[in-house]
Amino acid sequence: MILIPAIDIKNGKCVRLKKGNINNITIYHNNPVNVIKYWLKNKAKIIHIVDLDGAIKGIPINKNIIKNMIKERNKYCKKNNIKKIPIQLGGGIRNLEIIKYYFKYGISNVILGTSIIKNFNFIKSIKNFKNKIIISLDSYKNKIVTNGWKNISNNNLFNLANKISNLGFKKIIYTDIERDGILNGINIENTINLAKKTKIKIIASGGLYNLNDIKKLCKIKKYGIIGVICGRSIYNNILNFNISQKYINKYFKYVN
């Protein structure tokens, strides 16, 4: 399992929301490029970026900032003679042209949510990229939420996850938005149920609080939990990123 730091971009700044509420926002840094530098130096294995403006408006808004973040990743990895640290990116990616654009500039995995959920025919056009696409399933009371968490659909979380799995996608990010940004702990029960009822790998998200949450997730790794996204807990210095990742590394070395 991998601890994945999140960099959410709104109005050109690194921010976190509470329960996806765009009016309940905390600004953590004025320059996301400096934030990715920090996570690279702290040896993050994957970095999670969301264009929040893009998610809300339906088109990429922070492309130039993201390009500069990719350049910083490339420079760091070249200087240290290491493989490029994967970046997974979501927010406002609604067509094949944009997907190809981001892959061209060095994004490792594109995260799709609204574009898939609202238009399953879109899947036909991205079939060649299935291994590089992560599906984001954001739910409120087990109903899928779209358009930057503004709209609650009639899609059931578990039914849609099964459909995504049967279509051949390899990974999903599951976020319980009732917990996101409030430091109330990951929804372990739903995460396990989601993993059990599908053949797909799960990246947990929403509410990660402290090392106890990390320990709980480590114990359910056997169900196909491959990572967890961390945001407010690490920016508020409640969860120590390096200590947590070391625990994960030792735990899996021990159990294996």
Task: List, as one string, the DSSP characters of 188-222.
Answer: HHHHHHHHHTSSSEEEEES---SHHHHHHHHHTGG
Question: Which pLDDT value is given to residue 113?
Answer: 82
Question: Which pLDDT value is given to residue 75?
Answer: 97
Domain residue spans in the chain? 2-255
- Regarding pTM above 0.85, the answer is yes
Question: Which pLDDT value is given to residue 19?
Answer: 67
Question: Which pLDDT value is given to residue 132?
Answer: 93
Question: Which pLDDT value is given to residue 171?
Answer: 92
Question: Which pLDDT value is given to residue 77?
Answer: 97
Q: Please report, for residues 13, 112, 143, 181, the alpha-carbon distance to residue 190 in angstroms, rounded to integers and kept in the order given.
A: 32, 21, 12, 17
Residues of the chain with pLDDT under 70: 19-21, 147-151, 180-183, 254-256
180 annotated active-site: no
Question: Which pLDDT value is given to residue 197?
Answer: 81
| Contact yes or no for 58/79 (Cβ under 8 A) | no
Region of residue 237 (left: phi > 0; alpha: psi -120 to 50; beta: else): left
Question: Which pLDDT value is given to residue 180?
Answer: 62
Q: Which of 51, 138, 180, 213 is catalytic?
A: 138
Cα of 187 vs its chain's centroid, Å? 15
Question: Which pLDDT value is given to residue 198?
Answer: 84
213 annotated active-site: no
Measure the CA–CA gap between 84 and 72, rounded to whole angstroms: 11
Q: Does domain 2-255 have CATH number 3.40.50.1100?
A: no
Question: Which pLDDT value is given to residue 155?
Answer: 82
